[in-house]
Each structure stands twice: as structure tokens, then as C-alpha cells.
Chains A and B, each alone.
Chain A
């Protein structure tokens, strides 16, 4: 037994903060060392913001949990210096099979999209994902960055004030007090922070339970994604089989909302179901079983003064479409540069309200998409079931019906349409790069576009003139001068110009488009910068 999730990766160590007469004040405290908390801390530390992560545990996630990580997540992880490790370990799959009742209705082969550094998604156990971030934290520490993870530090009480928060933290050696200018709660769906502040979710759209199992199988089992609608071994529900690294397969069996959780996870009940899925002659070993309960819901707001919520603590969705951890990473991506601007006094605190607006918009989009998947997978009425079955029956014979089959729509970044940080679109360009969009990657010879846009305001010019740098209100935007000739595959042109012959883009530090025009115009871009930092 030497699984990565059984070894303490950030064991408890006594902090000097526990021996001071008055509580030590930190710049930022992050609660929770899951994927979102670690990403948030790394993002801040990379920008020179002092940050402490508190976690009540000392290990990475137990079991695979979140397993499907999207292209946008990998792009963000690249910016955070951990993407390569995730990509190298992750599994790519192309063949998917869809089953309905007792039969396979169709098989598809996802050809990888060309012209992106990262694939559309990888399958990777959450513990490997977290491990890559923990390794990155250690690397930053070695470089002298002010970032710290305190294992077995459980926050017991939170006091909120106008300009700081006070925390009471329990440790194996007793409690201590600590303060922070800013608190970011990344403490998951059951967020103790939310509870301690007396906040709750609004709306309960949907609730369901899943039996999730990690199964180790003989190596020749195919690397494919299998999805079942209404299979004989799980009547009226769905089932999913997914390949993970190390010959571990992930199985998700939907159970419905009214179940006996203890009974369902007993091996004598789990194993027969798995045999029915995989076939009697397949040898497998059960590595991990859990019941996962979810609800589709979000907090009314993600910011309460000096406390910010990110990831599952702020919003929850069904697992269909991998919109949990992936959207949480986008929360961190959206929040950290804004917090840095506010901490540096370059933006008013109001900029953080745009974090709330943009990520609430994203959460609503994710809830809507995952609710649609749920409606397809678990029809709520006779007519809904009739139409669903009609789609599945048609999909066996006709290609047209296959796009209607909804077993989850994979997480894509939210376009912040109408964001107060965006300037009106002034380019007759493609929709995918309209203001508010996350920049799509594009090939540049042997290189790619996104790494050149990381972590700062960029003035991207394509066959257009502009100054090498403009500074407005203490914020610099640095030019990245490109030409359509830099990309012989013409993806740069297709994604950023469309029918236009030239373009200038103002791109935020989180790689979202703030403004675009066909040429550089000094006043317009200065105004766009002010708007993007919350000053217009």
C-alpha cells in the first residue's frame, strides 16, 4: 500500500504563527488544498502575493473523484506551471460507445482538434491533478515565493471585518488565531466556511446519487468511454465507464435520489453490478468505492466583503459534462489577477464584484447545461422519456440524431457576454473571440499562442501597428505583434480575424478578450484598459 493518496503530502508542522502573542496577519488565506485552493494559491504566489493555504487534511484527494480535465483547465494549469505534468500522466481517448437498454446504438471516434497545444480533455485521477499542483507549490517555495500549505489546520471560526478576517484554527497541537486581508474559501461542496458565515445555496434544481468506483483491470481492456442509458444492470438510470492512468477504470452508476447509501456501497452489492457491466469473464479489482451526492445549485453571491468563494463551495452541478473542477479552475483564473490588482491599489475593490458577476454567469451556464443533460439521462415525464428513447433509437440508424444524445456536454469556458469589463466589439471578427471570450489557442510555427498571453495585459496585434507598450492608470499592456503569416495553417486568421484583414486585441491576464478593433486607436484602448480594471 503506497498509493499517492495515502501518503501525507503536506504533513502538519508547527507554524511560528502558533507562538505569537497577537495573531499574525497574512495577505491572503485560502481554505482548502483541493484543486481549486491549490490553483488559487499558486496563481497568487506567481504574482508575488503572500498566501497561506489551510487544509483540515494532509493528503491529496482519496479516490479518483474529478477525473475529466478540459482543455481550458490544462491551459490554465500551463500558466500555473503544472500543465505538462498533468498532460504527461493523463489518458486520452478517442472511441466512445453509447448503449441503450441491452444494445450498442452507436460508436464514435473523436478526432483530436488541430491547432491547440492541449487536447480537448484528459482523464486523470484528481489525486494526480492535485499532486502536480503540490509539486508546483514546492517548486515555488524553492524559488523563494511566499506560499505555504498547512496540513491538519482546521478552521473552526471566522470573524469578518471591513478590512480583514480573523480565523480560529484547530491543529493537533491545539488552536491558534490568525488573520488575513482576504479569505478565499475553496473548501468544497459542504463548505464549512459557508456554514460558519451563515450563508446557503439558493435553489435546489436537482439532486442525485452516484456510486463511483475505481476498478483495476487487465491491461487489454479497451481504452474507450462507454455510456449506458437505461441498462439492464441499472434500470432507469445511467452508467459510465472511463479509462484512467495506471490501468484504473472509473465506473459511475447513477442511483437516483432515494437510496440506502450504506447498502449500495457494500462490495457484495457493487461487484455483481460491475460484472453485469463488464462481462463475467473480465478480471478486476476494486480499488475505491464511494457514493457521491450532488445538487445543482449555487450561492446567491460569490463575494461577501473580504471573503470570496470559488469552486464547489460556491456552486455545484451534476457530474455530466465535467463542469465541477473545470469551472472551479476558471473561478481561480478569473479571481486571482483581480485580487492582485486590488491588493496593489491599482483597482477599486469593486473589481472583485466583476468576479462575482462573471462567475455567477458561468455557474448559471454550467447549471443550465448540466440540467439539460440530466433531463435527457433521467427523463422527468412520460413524454420526456418517449422523446429521449426516440432520439436514442434514431441514433442507431441515422447520424442526424446523434448530436441530440446528451450524456453530458463537456465543459467549455464561459464567454462573459455583456461583462462590465469588456468594451463594445469593434471588429467584424469571429464570434469565438468576441469580447468576454477565453482566447482560443492557435499554432505559431513550432509554438503556440496562449503561453505568450499569460498573466499580464497584452495588446495582441495581427497585421496591425501599435506601440510596443501602453500604460494607463499604472497598468501596462505589452504588445504581442503577430501576422497571419506566422501560422501557415491559418488557424490564427480563422480564430482571430475571420473576414477582417487586421486586428488589435486587448487581452486580460486571464486570457479573456477585453476589447478588439481592426486597428490601434490610442483613446479607445486606454479606455478599454480602464474598463477592464474596473475604473469605467
Chain B
């Protein structure tokens, strides 16, 4: 069973983050929300593995600390 990666794994993380912000630049809230929704689906399809996806859904719900 594959494990969800929760250690740093993004190549050129700052560039990715800047790209993410740029993609939302100038969008109305509704369009931005839609973009995020599409992005989630695109990424989920790339991952594919249902165990990893379940772990990701779980990880995205922040734990009380």
C-alpha cells in the first residue's frame, strides 16, 4: 500500500506556489473557487491510488493540536 507523502516533495516549491497564486490572479471569487475545484480533480486523477487519496482527504482535515 502506497503512503501519502507528507514530507517536502515539491520541486522548486516557491515557483509552484507563485504559479498557483498567478493562476488565481484577477479572478472573481467564484472563478477562483472553480479553478481550485478543477485543480483538486486534476491532481486526484494523477494520484489515482485510492489509498493515497483517502489519506490525502484525511490529512487535509487539520488535527486539533
Contacts and interface: CB of A to CB of B under 8 A. Distances in A.
Given A386-B33, A386-B34, A390-B40, 9 more contacts: A386-B37, A389-B34, A389-B37, A390-B34, A393-B34, A393-B38, A400-B42, A401-B41, A404-B41
Interface in A28-66: none
Interface in A510-531: none
B45 interface: yes
Contacts of A404: 41
Nearest to A389: B34
Nearest to B35: A390
Nearest to B46: A400
Contacts, number: 25
A403 to B, nearest CB: 10
Interface of B: 33-34, 37-38, 40-42, 45
Q: At the interface, is chain B mostly helix, strand, loop or mixed?
A: helix
Contacts of B45: 400-401
Contacts of A394: 38, 41-42
Interface in A373-390: 386-387, 389-390
Contacts of A390: 34, 37-38, 40-41
Q: At the interface, is chain A mostly helix, strand, loop or mixed?
A: helix
- What 7 A-B pairs have minimum CB-CB distances, sorted nearest first? A390-B37, A400-B45, A390-B38, A386-B37, A387-B37, A394-B38, A386-B33
A386 B38 CA distance: 9
A391 interface: yes
Interface of A: 386-387, 389-391, 393-394, 398, 400-401, 404
A370 to B, nearest CB: 22
Nearest to A403: B45
Nearest to B42: A394
Nearest to A401: B41
A390 B38 CA distance: 5
A391 B41 contact: yes
21 contacts: A386-B33, A386-B34, A386-B37, A387-B37, A387-B40, A387-B41, A389-B37, A390-B34, A390-B37, A390-B38, A390-B41, A391-B41, A393-B34, A393-B38, A394-B42, A398-B42, A400-B42, A400-B45, A401-B41, A401-B45, A404-B41
Contacts of B33: 386
A509 B23 CA distance: 60
A104 B32 CA distance: 24
Nearest to B33: A386
A391 B37 CA distance: 9
Contacts of A387: 37, 40-41
B53 to A, nearest CB: 13
A389 B37 CA distance: 9
Nearest to B45: A400
A121 B49 CA distance: 31
A385 to B, nearest CB: 10
A393 B36 CA distance: 13
The CB with the most chain A CB atoms within 10 A, among B33, B34, B37, B40, is that of B37
Contacts of A386: 33-34, 37
Nearest to B30: A386
The CB with the most chain B CB atoms within 10 A, among A390, A393, A394, is that of A390
A386 B41 CA distance: 12
A358 B33 CA distance: 43
A321 B40 CA distance: 27
A393 B40 CA distance: 13
Contacts of B41: 387, 390-391, 394, 401, 404
Contacts of B40: 387, 390
A400 B33 CA distance: 20
A389 B38 CA distance: 9
A522 B34 CA distance: 62
A394 B40 CA distance: 11
A283 B53 CA distance: 50
A243 B42 CA distance: 34
A440 to B, nearest CB: 24
Contacts of B37: 386-387, 389-390
Nearest to B48: A400
Nearest to A386: B37
Nearest to A400: B45
A43 B48 CA distance: 44
